[in-house]
Amino acid sequence: MTASLQPVLIRGHEVVIGLETHAQLSTNSKIFSGAATAFGAAPNTQACAVDLALPGTLPVMNRGAVERAIRFGLAVGSSVASQSIFARKNYFYPDLPKGYQISQYEVPVVQGGQVDFLLGDQKRSVRLTRAHLEEDAGKSLHEDYHGQTGIDLNRAGTPLLEIVTEPDMRSAAEAVEYAKALHALVVWLGICDGNMQEGSFRCDANVSVRKPGMPLGTRREIKNLNSFRFLQQAIDFEVQWQIDRLEDGLAIEQATVLFNPDTGETRAMRSKEDAHDYRYFPDPDLPPLVIGADWIERVRGRDARVAGAHGRALPARRRPAGL
């Protein structure tokens, strides 16, 4: 966030927001298998033995997913790790066949960077903590079966780039403009189709409030926001809810919450897990991801040639640092 920016107070409180954005990468196959990633296929027709976690199957890294991560890192001025590690993030959910998600934890592939954008006529900069590669889970179908839940594993194993910011945003409007700038960037780079209705680009918002000058408050994470309007509405409601609670002398408990667009309200889904709750450990089936300087330069050079051939350029108000 611009250092000289004066915080906007809501009922005497400063709002603190960080976003975690899942961008579905535009590969034809999944991140660790050869199954297709096309949207809209009949349930469970695009899930192979690896996606189903059948015994004896092993993951194999998708080179195209790595190249898209490199492309993003170069665009936002990040450091692309010469060696990064895949980990198992352990939790149980019916649409996660293995009982863990393959992700990156201690050493992500993209580290640092920033996204610049305009809010009105003022320049903003949001720092990125990291962007890491991971696989998506499947989908639970609650509405289609009376009293039961169906599981569609077509989406299981779809490659994601999770882009995590520092808590630099101070209003819902600023969070929305950052998300729009990020959306424009990943679509322009060709690494994500950006289709929010299909879940290709979705945001989790970490929201807390505090009195000016005080330490960060307890955050609540609003999950799976798939439109900019919902992002705005969910943060606005959550801010007022947290301030109401604090003014009533009640504590804020760290939690994962869902936004209901029909009511315009958030509701707690579960207590928020910390990293230790997931029992991360390096995935023994995947070696370290090694990215040589020559690979990075090939991606940089190829993107520069394509941009030059087509005369591509982002509008000035959307142009991110380092692009």
62-114 pLDDT, tens digit each: 999 999 999 999 999 999 999 999 999 999 888 999 999 999 999 999 999 99
Q: Dmax over Cα atoms in the chain, in whole Å?
A: 61
> In sequence order, what are the beta bridge partners of 20?
164, 204
Confidence of residue 323 (pLDDT cuts 50, 70, 90): very low
Span 251-256, average pLDDT: 94
What the block records as the tokens of 304 is 């520069």
Residue 158 has pLDDT above 80, yes or no: yes
Length of the chain: 323
The set of residues, in sequence order, having a beta carbon less than 8 Å from that of 20 and lying 6+ positions away, is 162, 163, 164, 165, 203, 204, 206, 221
Please answer whether residues 319 and 188 qualify as being in contact, where contact means their C-beta atoms are separated by less than 8 angstroms. no
Element (H, E) at 160: strand 159-165
Q: What is the pLDDT of residues 43-60, one digit of tens each?
A: 999 999 999 999 999 999
Residue 254 is classified by DSSP as P
Task: Report the candidate in 232, 239, 237 with the shortest Cα–Cα distance to residue 208.
Answer: 239
Are 73 and 109 within 8 A, CB to CB?
yes
Give the per-residue pLDDT at 316.
41
> Which residues fall within 8 angstroms of residue 148, CB to CB, at 6 or more apart?
none
Per-residue pLDDT, averaged over 253-279, amounts to 87
Query: pLDDT band at 140, cuts 50/70/90?
Result: confident
What mean pLDDT comes out for the span 156-177? Answer: 97
- Asked whether the predicted pLDDT for residue 303 surpasses 70, the reply is yes
